[in-house]
Amino acid sequence: METAAKQESIINKGIIDEKRLRGKWRLSYKVTNTIGHNGFGSRGLSTYVHPITGKKMTLIIDGQKVHLYEIMSSSTTLDPDINRNHKALVNWLLPHPEVMVDDVSLGSEISSKKNGNSKIKLVNIDFQDLTAIEDEDTIDRMVGRLSLYGGTEAIGFEKLGYILAGLGLPYEDKRYMSQTPQAKKTHTKLLRNKLKKFVKVSVENAKKVDEAIVNIEENKKVYCVKLLLDNGVITYNNGMLKYNNTALGTDIPSVTNFLSTNSEFWLEIQDKVSKILKNRG
């Protein structure tokens, strides 16, 4: 992701650091007509007053003032690295109140003056590409960790169940609930595969799994509560989850909070779960 240093240095006292105008940019206009991009004609952007300096900002192209810049295509690629006019245009567009900007911090004084309903957007393509690479790497690293079968980083059968339960996903496969070594081995593969598929969907999912691993003890509580619910040990009556007529909470988060502050009760819950698993044979 973009570093704080880059965010702070791209603009200083209203003046954009041209050294930061690197890589390719895309200027686009969101077309909303029924025939799409083929129906786009043009859109003009006029001179504006800079929100910080108060100066009138007129675009200069090839030494000539351009009082109305015409966007002639719904998508235009700009390359400031090799085209000085593109550099001038990007510099002019970034603070423009009618141009929304992604992935670049321009400061609140400029951002607050942006028209949030504008259909015009400027994005740094290279930064987007880098973000995509970083997201892919995050997913790959999590899939790699879930593929480990040994070592301190490996996620075993029990923890797979805790993570899946914490994420609100099916935490066991009823076809392989036996505790025999072969059934447990197959069950582990199925749960691991389920979690890897979840991670591959998006970087957001990969981050959710990473957070679930960090909070494994909390997710263990979620797993235990769900397992006891599924086995009728914890019941739901009159809007309350109960264990042996003891009210635990109104929902699973409130029950886990209760267990976090009642250690003896938590030990009893774990013991009950262990007995259920053991009796599966």
Is the pLDDT at 42 greater than 60? The verdict is yes
Q: Are 99 and 118 in contact (CB under 8 A)?
A: yes
Does residue 199 or residue 238 have the better pLDDT? 199
Place of tokens 């609100």: 168
Can you state the percent helix, strand and coil of the chain, rounding each to 5? 50, 20, 35
DSSP E strands: which ranges in 23-167? 25-29, 43-46, 48-49, 56-57, 59-61, 64-66, 68-71, 75-78, 100-102, 120-124
Distance from C-alpha of 205 to C-alpha of 192, rounded to nearest angstrom: 14
Is residue 6 scored above 70 in pLDDT?
Answer: no
- Work out the angle at residue 26's Cα, subtended by the Cα atoms of residues 23 and 31, and round it to the nearest 5 degrees: 170
Residue 250 and residue 72: Cα distance in Å, rounded? 59
Task: Using pLDDT thresholds of 50, 70 and 90, give the confidence band for residue 65.
Answer: very high
Condensed to tens digits (0 to 9), the pLDDT of residues 140-187 reads 889 999 998 888 888 999 999 999 999 999 999 988 888 788 888 999
Which of 67, 125, 58 has its CA nearest to residue 91?
Answer: 58
Give the Cα separation of 233 and 254 in Å (integer). 17
Domain boundaries, the chain: 4-130, 147-278
Q: Looking at the domain that runs over 147-278, which CATH code has it been given?
A: 3.30.250.10
66-122 pLDDT, tens digit per residue, is 999 998 888 889 998 899 999 899 989 999 999 998 767 777 888 888 888 888 999
Over residues 50-57, the mean pLDDT reads 88
Q: What is the pLDDT of residue 32?
A: 63
Q: Cα-Cα-Cα-Cα dihedral of 153, 157, 162, 166, to 10°?
A: 90
pLDDT value at residue 19: 60
Band of residue 10 on the pLDDT scale cut at 50, 70, 90: very low
pLDDT at position 12 over 90: no
In this predicted structure, what is the pLDDT of residue 16?
A: 59
> What mean pLDDT comes out for the span 55-59?
92
| Pairing verdict, β 100-102 and 120-124 | parallel
Write the pLDDT tens digit of every residue in 187-219. Answer: 999 999 999 999 999 999 999 999 999 999 999
Closest CA to 195 of 144, 244, 239: 144
Is 73 within 8 Å of 94 (Cβ atoms)? no
